[in-house]
Amino acid sequence: MDESARLMAVLRPVRAGNAFEETVERLLQAIRLGVVAPGQKLPAERELAVQLGISRVTLREAIRALQDAGYLAVRRGRYGGAFVTYVPPVPGATDLRQVVADMGAADLADALTFRMAVECGAAQVLAATELTAEQRATLHRGLSDLDEASLADYRRLDTAFHLSIAELTGSGLLAAAVADARLRVSDLLDAIPMLQVNLDHSAAQHRAMVTAILAGDPDAARRAVAEHLEGTAALLRGFLS
Amino acid sequence: MDESARLMAVLRPVRAGNAFEETVERLLQAIRLGVVAPGQKLPAERELAVQLGISRVTLREAIRALQDAGYLAVRRGRYGGAFVTYVPPVPGATDLRQVVADMGAADLADALTFRMAVECGAAQVLAATELTAEQRATLHRGLSDLDEASLADYRRLDTAFHLSIAELTGSGLLAAAVADARLRVSDLLDAIPMLQVNLDHSAAQHRAMVTAILAGDPDAARRAVAEHLEGTAALLRGFLS
DNA sequence: CATCAATGGTCTAAGACTAGCCCAATCAAC
DNA sequence: GTTGATTGGGCTAGTCTTAGACCATTGATG
């Protein structure tokens, strides 16, 4: 890795796009990751604009774009708001090869590697932490929510479970990194059919992750997450070959 | 971690500041991490503006600010440019308590946790990878560079070593995350005196990291990095108490 | 059924940012 | 010396973005 490559990495673009584009991306992240579930509404425009650090005009442009794209339905008046109408595509319905072609092979490898590093890191840090009763309960709740989940809710709750591990470390930076990593593979996951075998495997691996974290064993936690994510990567390779 | 907390995490500010502020931060990152060493110059304004995705006007404002702050010296004409005049402060000369007060206790914990997760993750991923002869050589070169480093160069080469681990994974996202994490603790590290004992410890830990990575042992790699970073954190706690 | 608080819809003036152009300075090469 | 390529310095017109104010709509509540 020579000096010029490092220069390129550090002196990368300051902005991913204009405020409008970045806002659309951020809202899409909230919707597609299921942070705001279908039927729920986004915070009020004035409040949301403050949270996102942009003007209400720009926020409204982004909301309008998502409305036109069919992700949101906006209702006026008290108790109105921007309601999520997006329902995740049926897994397996989209063409994985097309998705991969759209994002590029290099980006695909980058995203998978990034996710592996950052999620393993989060689990390992959490395993090395003294957990409160409440934190343990959150992990257990994540597991049981997933066990009882309908197929329609599964991806959303899976995302929530993975995110909660990062959030429980107390590091906002880490939580943001995990959310980012998840979003980057979101299209891929949506293109994989959900088979009962795979769901059973995932459930067992999720339990292994929680067990290792609660046992305070960072190595085991790291290994459990790595195995889980490697399983997903293997599935992808399988559908691609 | 309830839903509202997750909303806060995903719907965080789209922009960390205006273009000027973000550009200053980015250039400072390049300078303080030693990506552009003292005496070297930044790329030409027109080229740099394109790389950073901003206008030349905004870039010039940022350069002017860094010039006023004593980080850069600008010379006109052919073979001119913005030359780095910043030399890292003598470790231990700045007041650690002041630095911590400036960044806030919560941000401090966040940054340390983030760094731990992301650097452990990078090492673990790299250890799980088949390395080429060239990649191994890069790791060895990083070690020997550090061994031969003068005190003035030590921090810069230490940063380069840690960064190279992330870069060798081939994931630009991961490299950017590690660079970001490093920068967030940069002020703290600059405030810690460099004692020979600590340097010897660090050298041994660096060797352990490389050994584990080359041996293809992710658990050992993770443990080596965790131990190394925990050592730094312990030093910090020591100087603060 | 009237009220009213919360919410989206709209406008305007000011500031931030950009693209593009030309000028001024420098210094290696001829 | 003179030249010419490269670099920072500076200007302008136009676009993007913001802050703040005011209007329109809705529906739970009394």
Residue B26 CA and nucleotide C28 C1' are separated, in Å, by 33
- Clarify whether residues B71 and B106 are in a common domain: no
pLDDT bucket at B177, cuts 50 / 70 / 90 = very high
pLDDT bucket at A88, cuts 50 / 70 / 90 = confident
Comparing alpha-carbon positions, the chain B residue that sits nearest to A48 is B11
Chain A residues 98-157 with a CB less than 8 Å from chain B = 109-111, 113-114, 116-122, 124-125, 128, 138
- B232 in a structural domain: yes
Q: How many CB atoms lie within 10 A of CB B198?
A: 14
Output the domain CATH number for residue B151: 1.20.120.530
pLDDT bucket at A4, cuts 50 / 70 / 90 = low
Which tens digits make up the pLDDT trace of B78-110? 999 999 999 887 766 677 677 777 788 788 999
Residue B68 CA and nucleotide C23 C1' are separated, in Å, by 24
- Clarify whether residues A100 and A71 are in a common domain: no
Q: Is B171 on the interface with A (CB under 8 A)?
A: yes
For A230, phi then psi, to 5°, come to: -65, -35
Cβ separation of B109 and A19 shorter than 8 Å? no
- B12 in a structural domain: no
pLDDT value for B92: 67
pTM over 0.85: yes
Q: What letter represents residue B198's amino acid? A: N
Domain encompassing residue A25: 3-84
Q: B219 contacts in A (CB within 8 Å)? A: 219, 222-223
The number of folded domains in chain A is 2
- Clarify whether residues B151 and B227 are in a common domain: yes
Average pLDDT over residues A86-95: 76
Which tens digits make up the pLDDT trace of A194-229? 888 889 999 999 999 999 999 999 999 999 999 999
pLDDT value for A188: 87
pLDDT > 90: percent of chain A? 68
- A33 pLDDT above the threshold of 90: no
Which of B2, B3, B4, B6 to mutate against chain A (most A CBs within 10 Å)? Answer: B6
Cα(B236)–Cα(B184) distance, rounded to whole angstroms? 14
Q: B122 contacts in A (CB within 8 Å)? A: 117
- Clarify whether residues A107 and A170 are in a common domain: yes
Output the domain CATH number for residue B36: 1.10.10.10
- Clarify whether residues B209 and B103 are in a common domain: yes
- A29 in a structural domain: yes
CB B178 within 8 A of CB B162: yes
- Clarify whether residues A67 and A156 are in a common domain: no
- Clarify whether residues B74 and B107 are in a common domain: no
- Clarify whether residues A77 and A103 are in a common domain: no
pLDDT > 70: percent of chain B? 96
Q: Which of B84, B107, B139 is the last residue of a domain?
A: B84
- B91 in a structural domain: no
Task: Compute CA distances A7 → A2, A69, B12, B34, B203, whole Å.
Answer: 9, 38, 28, 10, 26
Q: B32 contacts in A (CB within 8 Å)? A: none
pLDDT value for A2: 59
- B79 in a structural domain: yes
- B1 pLDDT above the threshold of 60: no
- A129 in a structural domain: yes
The answer to whether the beta carbon of residue B70 comes closer than 7 angstroms to any atom of strand D is: no
- Clarify whether residues A167 and A105 are in a common domain: yes
pLDDT value for B93: 66
- B126 in a structural domain: yes
- B76 in a structural domain: yes
Q: B176 contacts in A (CB within 8 Å)? A: 9, 12
pLDDT value for A106: 85
- Clarify whether residues B77 and B115 are in a common domain: no
If we measure between CA atoms, which residue out of A125, A107, A88, A123 comes closest to residue A229?
Answer: A123
- Clarify whether residues B132 and B167 are in a common domain: yes
- Clarify whether residues B48 and B103 are in a common domain: no
Question: Does B150 or B92 have the greater pLDDT score?
Answer: B150
Average pLDDT over residues B159-172: 95
- Shortest distance, CA B210 to any CA of chain A (angstroms): 16
Which tens digits make up the pLDDT trace of A103-141? 888 889 999 999 999 999 999 999 999 999 999 999 999
